[in-house]
Amino acid sequence: MIERLQFYINGTWVDPKTPKQLDVLSPATEEPIGRISLGSAADVGDAVRAARGAFAAFSQTSREERLALLQKIVEVYQGHYDEMAELISREMGAPLWLSKAAQAATPLGHLGTAIEVLKTYSFEQPRGTTMMRREAIGVCGMITPWNWPMNQIACKVAPALAAGCTMVLKPSEVSPLSACLWADVLDEAGVPAGVFNLVNGDGPTVGAAISSHPDVDMVSFTGSTRAGIAVATAAAPTVKRVTQELGGKSANIILDDAELEEAVGGGVRSCFMNSGQSCNAPTRMLVSSSRHDDAAAVAKTTAESMRVGDPFADGTMLGPVVSEAQWNKIQGLIQAGIDEGAELVTGGPGRPEGFEKGYYVRPTVFANVRNDMRIAREEIFGPVLAILPYESEQEAVAIANDTPYGLSGYISSGDLEHARTIAAQIRSGNVHLNGAQLAFDAAFGGYKQSGNGREWGEAGFEEFLELKAVFGYAAA
């Protein structure tokens, strides 16, 4: 049992104002693996005061000082890498190989990108006699989810530090242990007291306190669209900047000139990666009617080849989903797909054979799905794929865009120029051509109800800067 009952405030671990504990459960066993404290508005107040007090000095540090700090964080983090990977697998269920290859690796990508951006970024740009100057925005509240816990923390903290901001982090109470280790890393690396603060807790209490606090200048939120609306509503009275990376229901268009087996197989694996718990997962596969049945057969074979198992067992490709609440939601949507008349190709309700406990889900594929069905409209956040037939490329684009979300799109084609033409018509913040992966130096974010603002790369760095015009800066 790992006990992390304190909060990291002003450079030290402190007790909560009011003790209130919460068990952290293993999604593989449903048994407690750790215990944290749930914070209050008073704890958030202490953390914000610490961040506000540290801002004046930290925002004036030099580029060289912040580069040295970021490089030290990289060095210390590397020393805790295996420990971090194991914690992530234990608390949110990712297979250990995935935690080592991706979950725990992403902070190094974001830290490295922040370092490269900071090295050459022009904070001042002259415009005639005026100087356009970008400065640290101030105290930043950060609210992060459980599905890629360290990725979502690092993609906020790294650029904020590079920009000269101070911050208060509320990680998900479902996956808080990795966040506590991250605080240990920053402490060991010598981040000045008050620059980084961590308060565990739930959204309605700690998240709301951060969002509404008048001394928080910006809130960076990642999570559901529903929760994002609550954050923006709480932030509105103090007119603070709010950036949001929210839900998705991304379309994967398989064009007729694509190699079907490769495109469909890759699409299934991408959809099911991390047990389907990625906001940008390609959960709607669009295939022309003439190739629909062949695509369904490939998807069935691929899904049935993906072994579900304990996160620490050799050969496991998919671990459990994160919680009972998430498992129940997925089961309800699988049943809705059946009830609404979609063709169940493989998988279905219940746990996979051989599992009596743990939040394991059967890899599920539906075919002949209509875009008005719940499984095509709602973010399932589990290993569930919907295959939708289309009659023309124009219809495929229309179906892809017929969603309240707009985070990612995927296009497969044997002709890159053909894929580019379709990509230009997709209303989403990211589009992947022929299986191309995300890049740490590129912007990540969405259109419509998938959010506003951008993370990653230079665009994400600039979200933590405020623009000032200094008139008469130079002689006429």
Residue 179 CA to residue 49 CA, distance in Å, equals 21
What is the DSSP pairing of strand 284-288 with strand 384-390? Answer: parallel
Q: Give every CB contact of residue 5 below 8 A, 6+ residues apart in sequence.
A: 15, 16, 19, 21, 35, 36, 37
| 279, 379, 455, 458: the active-site residue | 279
Residue whose C-alpha is closest to residue 244's, from 427, 459, 453: 453
Give the containing element (helix H, strand E) for 385: strand 384-390
State the number of CA atoms in the 13 A half-sphere of 219 facing the CB.
33
pTM exceeding 0.95? yes
Q: Give every CB contact of residue 452 below 8 A, 6+ residues apart in sequence.
A: 242, 243, 244, 445, 446
Residue 465 CA to residue 165 CA, distance in Å, equals 9
State the number of CA atoms in the 13 A half-sphere of 202 facing the CB.
7
Computed from CA positions of residues 294, 299, 300, 305, in that sequence, does the dihedral angle turn out positive or negative? positive
What is the DSSP pairing of strand 451-452 with strand 241-245? Answer: antiparallel
Residue 476 has a pLDDT of 81
Q: Is 391 a catalytic residue?
A: no
Q: Which residues of the chain have pLDDT under 70?
A: none
Give the containing element (helix H, strand E) for 389: strand 384-390
Q: φ and ψ at 21, to 5 degrees?
A: -100, 155
Residue 11 has a pLDDT of 98
Identify each DSSP E strand in 209-359 by its residue range.
Answer: 218-222, 241-245, 251-254, 284-288, 343-346
- R_g of the chain computed on alpha carbons: 23
The residue whose two tokens read 């003790």 is 19
| 91, 245, 455, 462: the active-site residue | 245
Q: Which domains does the chain have, with CATH numbers?
A: 2-246+450-470 (3.40.605.10), 251-439 (3.40.309.10)
Q: Is 245 a catalytic residue?
A: yes
- Give the number of other CB atoms < 10 A from CB of residue 18: 11
Computed from CA positions of residues 162, 198, 172, 178, in that sequence, does the dihedral angle turn out positive or negative? positive
Task: Enumerate helices (H) and strands (E) in the chain, giving the number of each.
Answer: 16, 21
